[in-house]
Amino acid sequence: MSNIVEAKSLRKNYGNFTALDGVDLTIPRGAICGLIGPNGAGKTTTLKALIGLCDVEGELSVAGRDPRIARHKLMEDVCFIADVGILPKWLKVSHVIDYVEAVHPRFDRKKAEKFLSTTDIPANKRIKNLSKGMVTQLHLALVMAIEVQLLVLDEPTLGLDIIYRKEFYDRLLNDFYDGNRTIIISTHQVEEIETLLSHLVFINKGKIVLDSSMSDLPDIYTEVLVDADKVAQADAVGPIYVRELLGKKSYTFEAVPREQLEVLGELHTPSVADLFVAKLKEEKHG
Amino acid sequence: MDKFAILQFYGLIKREVLEHRNLFIGAPAVVALLLLVATTWAVTQVDESQLAEGLRYVSVLFDGLSPFDMAPFFMLLAVPFYLTLYVCSVIYLINTLYQDRKEMSVLFWQSMPVSNLQTVLSKIVTIVLVAPIFYVLIIFAMYLIAMVWLTILGISNDVDLVGIGYMFLAAIASLVLIYISAFVTSLWLLPSVGWLLLFSAFAKKTPLLWAGGVFILVGFLEDFIFGTQFLANWVASRTSDPNQYLIFEFQSIFERIFNYDTLFGIVVGGILIVGAVFMRRFTD
């Protein structure tokens, strides 16, 4: 499978603050990739770099183009939804559809209108008068009506209630994703997207700390609920993270064969959230 | 240019008009309304026989004469609209690239397959060619209302309506002159257009203050370092004479565009506009 995103040694500074510090990233076509990181980790800068909205140093190719020199051409193949606030508030719903129809060669108006007919969004309302959930639905309707290779989502459900959030991801999977298109999602709500993902990237302090397919994770990471009498033995194996859980100790190991760990206690594959915490703590403590 | 590129550019212009309809339609409509109200009030202060006499004089004055020759008579009526257009243009140009970034909608606009060059060009075409169309249409509507009113007045006072008709034709011809004047003035002021767009794309806050502040600073530095006032004199020479903003004769249009001063201004404006395109590209 070819890669839709290939980035090497991406660097970006804002004054003295280093937003990206040598980011290497490879995302295969057809993946649903989660880009996870704490606040200020470099998620938004990475996503903006991918679609040519911020200038970075390093090698970068998205859908076969360099976003820094061909952003507008690239955007024929890529869609972007950022935080819910970015649709211009002064426009009416019908005006937004008119605009996208006018400027995007791959926009299917009927598709967008069909999607909107399943919502409560009136065509003659201004965006400033819509709820946050409606604005997101509208943006999703626009995006789903565009035939693109890559969809980039930066905290797309921020500030939405659980119903809108769930509906957003259901629609994304059922109506947009077809196995060939690629989706990159950056979010804090890791648990909500964990089951959707086929690829996982963690970023912290401008550096990629994990870049793996979800199917490879069980082979690399193992969580062990260690029996009390095996704690010293587990410590000796060299966990990347240890935490207290229901009076027991939970150890997270990286690249340690399962057979070696079976003797220590009950084995699990860590959840994305647990793995995220483990990798960040590992970074912090070295 | 293919058909889609034309439709795409039309979409960009439509967006500008929708977003700034208050500047392009609302403001001149208010001016037209105020002029109509002021004229109506003034007429009520005049004796009807004097009014009829005045109307007869005007009717005779215009009767049989070429509307294009008489069009300049109406240019003074357009002055309030010109002033409004220029004030609105400054407001538009200084805010147009800044506002997108301020309200974060720039992420939406730039998520579309539209280049920064197309975006900036659409804004220039909007202010140079499209905005004056709306002003001219509103002046036309104002003339139309005035003509209906004068016709009724003429019928009730037994005034020759043919002369009034000629006056109306001269008023219509003046619309062409008004539009061309606005266009030529835009070319004349292209350095200002580029300067305002540059700071609209650059400033993170108060773009007008930046545009004015940097201009004063550059002038001051020129005076301080070289002991010259080229910049200040150049700007003064392009702004001090009101005749530079109005064209009274169709014959002078070519001469007003194709002269050294205007063409030099177009080059300077072009450089500043290219700067605005790059600034929009690199300001994140």
Same domain, A165 and A248: no
**Residue in B with minimal Cα distance to A127:** B105
Residue with tokens 């090698």: A59
Q: Which domain holds residue A129?
A: 3-205
Residue with tokens 């177009």: B266
Q: Which of A206, A210, A211 is nearest to A12 (CA)?
A: A206
A213-217 own/partner pairs: CB under 8 Å, 24+ apart: A213/A28, A213/A31, A217/A269, A217/A270, A217/A275
Same domain, A55 and A184: yes
Same domain, A196 and A154: yes
H-helix segments, B103-252: 106-109, 116-125, 131-156, 161-188, 190-202, 207-226, 230-239
Q: Which of A264, A192, A242 is nearest to A36 (CA)?
A: A192
Same domain, A235 and A192: no
DSSP state of A82: -
Residue with tokens 């060669």: A105
How many A/B residue pairs have CB atoms within 8 Å? 80
Pairing mode, strands A182-186 and A32-36: parallel
Supply A137's token pair: 């639905």
Instruction: Give the 3-state secondary structure percentages of chain B, helix then strand then coil, rounded to 5.
Output: 85, 0, 15
pLDDT in tens, B106-127: 889 989 999 999 999 999 999 9
Q: Does A275 touch chain B (CB under 8 A)?
A: no
Q: Does A70 touch chain B (CB under 8 A)?
A: no
Supply B43's token pair: 């007429």
Q: Does A72 touch chain B (CB under 8 A)?
A: yes
Instruction: Answer with the one of A182, A205, A228 that is the final residue of a domain.
Output: A205
Same domain, A28 and A96: yes
Contact between B182 and B135 under an 8 Å Cβ cutoff? The reply is yes
Mutate to test the interface with B, among A48, A66, A99 (most CBs of B within 10 A): A99
Task: State the nearest Cα–Cα gap between A193 and chain B, in angstroms.
Answer: 23
Query: A70 in a domain, yes or no?
Result: yes
- What domain count does chain B have? 1
Q: Does A99 touch chain B (CB under 8 A)?
A: yes
Q: How deeply is B151 buried, as exposed, middle or buried, from its count of CB atoms within 10 A (0-12, 13-18, 19+)?
A: middle
List chain B residues with pLDDT less than 50.
none
CA distance B247 to B160: 31
- Between the two ends of chain A, the Cα-to-Cα distance in Å is 34
Instruction: Answer with the one of A180, A205, A230 that is the final residue of a domain.
Output: A205
Supply B160's token pair: 């020759």
Query: B49 in a domain, yes or no?
Result: yes
Residue with tokens 């890791």: A190
pTM, full prediction: 0.86
Mutate to test the interface with A, among B7, B107, B281, B283 (most CBs of A within 10 A): B107
Q: Which of A125, A52, A127 is nearest to A85 (CA)?
A: A127
Same domain, A165 and A197: yes
Put simply, the answer to whether A71 touches B115 (Cβ < 8 Å) is: yes
Put simply, the answer to whether A85 touches B110 (Cβ < 8 Å) is: no
Same domain, A164 and A277: no
Same domain, A222 and A201: no
Q: Does A76 touch chain B (CB under 8 A)?
A: yes
CA distance A171 to B26: 41
Q: Which of B12, B18, B281 has the CB atom closest to A95's CB atom?
A: B18
* CATH code for the domain of A48: 3.40.50.300
Q: Which of A75, A88, A103 has the CB atom closest to B105's CB atom?
A: A88
A248-255 own/partner pairs: CB under 8 Å, 24+ apart: A249/A225, A250/A223, A250/A224, A250/A225, A250/A226, A251/A223, A251/A224, A251/A226, A252/A221, A252/A222, A252/A223, A252/A224, A252/A278, A253/A221, A253/A222, A253/A223, A253/A224, A254/A220, A254/A221, A255/A220
Task: List chain B residues with CB under 8 Å of A146.
Answer: none
Give SS3 for B284: coil
Query: B72 in a domain, yes or no?
Result: yes
Put simply, the answer to whether B282 touches A75 (Cβ < 8 Å) is: no
CA distance A199 to B24: 50
Task: State the nearest Cα–Cα gap between A206 and chain B, in angstroms.
Answer: 17
Q: For residue A194, how many other CB atoms are within 10 A of its CB?
A: 16
Put simply, the answer to whether A73 touches B14 (Cβ < 8 Å) is: no
With left for phi above 0 and alpha for psi between -120 and 50, is residue B249 left, alpha or beta?
beta
Query: A76 in a domain, yes or no?
Result: yes
pLDDT in tens, chain A (286 residues): 589 999 999 999 998 899 999 999 999 999 999 999 988 899 999 999 999 988 899 999 999 999 998 899 999 999 998 875 588 988 999 999 999 999 999 999 999 999 999 888 998 999 999 988 888 889 989 998 999 999 999 988 887 888 888 888 888 888 888 888 999 999 877 888 888 999 999 999 999 999 999 999 999 999 999 888 888 888 888 899 998 877 788 999 999 998 888 888 889 899 999 999 888 887 655 5
Query: B104 in a domain, yes or no?
Result: yes
Q: Which domain holds residue B156?
A: 3-279
Same domain, A194 and A114: yes
Q: Which of B19, B104, B118 has the CB atom closest to A86's CB atom?
A: B104
- The HSE-up count of residue A6 (CA atoms within 13 Å, CB side) is 10
Same domain, A66 and A191: yes
Query: B68 in a domain, yes or no?
Result: yes
- What domain count does chain A have? 2
Same domain, A24 and A48: yes
Instruction: Answer with the one of A179, A205, A231 that is the final residue of a domain.
Output: A205
Query: A48 in a domain, yes or no?
Result: yes
Query: B284 in a domain, yes or no?
Result: no
Contact between B128 and B89 under an 8 Å Cβ cutoff? The reply is no
CA distance B122 to B11: 9
Task: List chain A residues with CB under 8 Å of B112.
Answer: 72, 75, 99-100, 103-104
Q: Does A177 touch chain B (CB under 8 A)?
A: no
| CA B279 to the chain's CA centroid | 26
Q: For residue A263, how many other CB atoms are within 10 A of its CB?
A: 11
**Whole-number pLDDT of residue B283:** 66
Q: Does B103 touch chain A (CB under 8 A)?
A: yes
pLDDT in tens, B177-197: 899 989 988 998 899 999 999
Query: A211 in a domain, yes or no?
Result: no
**Whole-number pLDDT of residue A283:** 61
Query: B136 in a domain, yes or no?
Result: yes
Query: A14 in a domain, yes or no?
Result: yes
Can you name the residues that pair with A14 across neighbouring β-strands? A17
**Whole-number pLDDT of residue A202:** 93
**Residue in B with minimal Cα distance to A49:** B284
Same domain, A239 and A186: no
Put simply, the answer to whether A76 touches B110 (Cβ < 8 Å) is: no
Task: List chain A residues with CB under 8 Å of B102.
Answer: none
Q: Does A101 touch chain B (CB under 8 A)?
A: yes
CA distance A200 to A178: 19
Q: What is the CA radius of gyration of chain B?
A: 22
Distances (CA, A) of A45 to A13, A34, B167: 10, 15, 63
Phi and psi, residue B196, nearest 5°: -65, -40
Give SS3 for A119: coil
**Whole-number pLDDT of residue B159:** 84
Contact between A182 and A149 under an 8 Å Cβ cutoff? The reply is yes
Query: A210 in a domain, yes or no?
Result: no
